[in-house]
Amino acid sequence: MSETTKTAKTAEERLAIRDERIKQLQKQKQKIRKDENKKIRKQRDNRLYRRHGLLEKFMPKIIDITDEQFEVFIRKGINTTYGRNCLNEIIDKGEEAAIAYVAKFRAKEEANADAKSSEPQADDGTDDSANSLQAVSSGA
Protein backbone atom coordinates (compact mmCIF):
# COMPACT_ATOMS: atom_id res chain seq x y z
CA MET A 1 0.00 0.00 0.00
CA SER A 2 1.45 3.31 -0.98
CA GLU A 3 1.87 6.26 1.38
CA THR A 4 -0.60 8.34 -0.67
CA THR A 5 -3.34 5.72 -0.32
CA LYS A 6 -2.69 5.45 3.41
CA THR A 7 -2.94 9.26 3.84
CA ALA A 8 -6.10 9.41 1.75
CA LYS A 9 -7.70 6.68 3.84
CA THR A 10 -6.73 8.47 6.99
CA ALA A 11 -8.31 11.66 5.61
CA GLU A 12 -11.44 9.65 4.74
CA GLU A 13 -11.57 8.29 8.27
CA ARG A 14 -11.10 11.76 9.73
CA LEU A 15 -13.93 13.08 7.57
CA ALA A 16 -16.17 10.19 8.63
CA ILE A 17 -15.42 10.94 12.28
CA ARG A 18 -16.23 14.62 11.75
CA ASP A 19 -19.44 13.74 9.91
CA GLU A 20 -20.45 11.54 12.84
CA ARG A 21 -19.67 14.39 15.26
CA ILE A 22 -21.80 16.76 13.14
CA LYS A 23 -24.71 14.30 13.32
CA GLN A 24 -24.32 14.07 17.10
CA LEU A 25 -24.30 17.86 17.45
CA GLN A 26 -27.38 18.17 15.21
CA LYS A 27 -29.19 15.63 17.41
CA GLN A 28 -28.17 17.58 20.52
CA LYS A 29 -29.42 20.77 18.88
CA GLN A 30 -32.77 19.11 18.08
CA LYS A 31 -33.06 17.83 21.65
CA ILE A 32 -32.37 21.30 23.08
CA ARG A 33 -35.05 22.81 20.82
CA LYS A 34 -37.49 20.03 21.69
CA ASP A 35 -36.88 20.51 25.43
CA GLU A 36 -37.30 24.29 25.13
CA ASN A 37 -40.56 23.89 23.19
CA LYS A 38 -41.79 21.42 25.82
CA LYS A 39 -40.94 23.89 28.60
CA ILE A 40 -42.75 26.73 26.79
CA ARG A 41 -45.79 24.49 26.20
CA LYS A 42 -45.91 23.51 29.89
CA GLN A 43 -45.72 27.16 30.94
CA ARG A 44 -48.53 28.05 28.52
CA ASP A 45 -50.71 25.15 29.70
CA ASN A 46 -50.15 26.12 33.33
CA ARG A 47 -51.03 29.75 32.58
CA LEU A 48 -54.20 28.72 30.73
CA TYR A 49 -55.30 26.43 33.59
CA ARG A 50 -54.71 29.12 36.25
CA ARG A 51 -56.43 31.88 34.31
CA HIS A 52 -59.41 29.81 33.24
CA GLY A 53 -59.71 28.57 36.82
CA LEU A 54 -59.94 32.16 38.00
CA LEU A 55 -62.58 32.89 35.38
CA GLU A 56 -64.64 29.89 36.55
CA LYS A 57 -64.18 30.97 40.18
CA PHE A 58 -65.62 34.43 39.54
CA MET A 59 -68.16 33.37 36.90
CA PRO A 60 -69.26 29.79 37.67
CA LYS A 61 -71.93 29.78 34.93
CA ILE A 62 -69.14 29.85 32.38
CA ILE A 63 -68.62 26.13 33.01
CA ASP A 64 -71.96 25.32 31.39
CA ILE A 65 -71.53 27.24 28.12
CA THR A 66 -70.31 25.90 24.78
CA ASP A 67 -67.06 26.94 23.11
CA GLU A 68 -69.02 29.11 20.71
CA GLN A 69 -70.83 30.85 23.58
CA PHE A 70 -67.48 31.35 25.32
CA GLU A 71 -66.07 32.95 22.18
CA VAL A 72 -69.07 35.31 21.98
CA PHE A 73 -68.54 36.19 25.66
CA ILE A 74 -64.88 37.00 25.02
CA ARG A 75 -65.68 39.06 21.92
CA LYS A 76 -68.56 40.99 23.51
CA GLY A 77 -67.47 41.18 27.13
CA ILE A 78 -63.70 41.32 27.11
CA ASN A 79 -62.39 42.04 23.63
CA THR A 80 -63.86 45.54 23.61
CA THR A 81 -62.27 48.96 23.68
CA TYR A 82 -62.99 49.13 27.41
CA GLY A 83 -61.47 45.67 27.99
CA ARG A 84 -58.34 46.51 25.99
CA ASN A 85 -57.99 49.83 27.83
CA CYS A 86 -58.25 48.04 31.19
CA LEU A 87 -55.59 45.54 30.12
CA ASN A 88 -53.27 48.30 28.91
CA GLU A 89 -53.73 50.16 32.19
CA ILE A 90 -52.92 47.02 34.18
CA ILE A 91 -49.83 46.40 32.06
CA ASP A 92 -48.70 50.02 32.32
CA LYS A 93 -48.98 50.04 36.12
CA GLY A 94 -46.80 46.93 36.36
CA GLU A 95 -46.84 43.66 38.22
CA GLU A 96 -46.26 45.17 41.67
CA ALA A 97 -49.40 47.30 41.40
CA ALA A 98 -51.44 44.24 40.36
CA ILE A 99 -50.04 42.19 43.26
CA ALA A 100 -50.89 44.98 45.71
CA TYR A 101 -54.41 45.30 44.28
CA VAL A 102 -55.07 41.57 44.51
CA ALA A 103 -53.68 41.39 48.06
CA LYS A 104 -55.88 44.30 49.15
CA PHE A 105 -58.94 42.76 47.50
CA ARG A 106 -58.30 39.33 49.05
CA ALA A 107 -57.85 40.87 52.50
CA LYS A 108 -61.16 42.66 52.07
CA GLU A 109 -62.85 39.41 51.02
CA GLU A 110 -61.38 37.57 54.02
CA ALA A 111 -62.53 40.30 56.39
CA ASN A 112 -66.04 40.11 54.93
CA ALA A 113 -66.02 36.31 55.23
CA ASP A 114 -64.82 36.51 58.85
CA ALA A 115 -67.50 39.07 59.70
CA LYS A 116 -70.17 36.98 58.06
CA SER A 117 -69.08 33.78 59.83
CA SER A 118 -69.13 35.51 63.23
CA GLU A 119 -72.72 36.69 62.74
CA PRO A 120 -75.35 34.47 64.40
CA GLN A 121 -77.23 32.44 61.80
CA ALA A 122 -81.00 32.55 62.17
CA ASP A 123 -82.78 29.43 61.01
CA ASP A 124 -85.96 31.19 59.95
CA GLY A 125 -85.92 29.86 56.38
CA THR A 126 -85.04 33.21 54.84
CA ASP A 127 -82.35 33.67 52.25
CA ASP A 128 -79.64 35.98 53.60
CA SER A 129 -78.57 37.03 50.11
CA ALA A 130 -82.10 38.20 49.34
CA ASN A 131 -82.19 40.15 52.61
CA SER A 132 -78.80 41.74 51.80
CA LEU A 133 -80.04 42.71 48.37
CA GLN A 134 -83.14 44.30 49.87
CA ALA A 135 -81.02 46.19 52.40
CA VAL A 136 -78.79 47.54 49.66
CA SER A 137 -81.70 48.55 47.41
CA SER A 138 -83.57 50.22 50.27
CA GLY A 139 -80.46 52.21 51.24
CA ALA A 140 -80.10 50.57 54.64
25-82 pLDDT per residue, tens: 999 999 999 999 999 999 999 999 999 999 999 999 999 999 999 999 999 999 999 9
Question: Quick one: 60 and 87 in the same domain?
Answer: no
Domain count for the chain = 2
Question: Quick one: 14 and 47 in the same domain?
Answer: yes
Is 70 a domain residue?
Answer: no
> What does the alpha-carbon distance between residue 35 and residue 47 come to, in Å, rounded to a whole number?
18
Count helices and strands (H / E) in the chain.
5, 0
| Total-model pTM | 0.58
Range of the domain at 26: 10-64
Contacting residues for 62 by C-beta, under 8 A, at least 6 apart: 55, 56, 70, 73
- Reported as a pLDDT band with limits 50, 70 and 90, residue 114 is confident
> What does the alpha-carbon distance between residue 134 and residue 140 come to, in Å, rounded to a whole number?
8
Q: How far is residue 80 from each of residues 61, 73, 87, measured CA to CA in Å?
A: 21, 11, 11
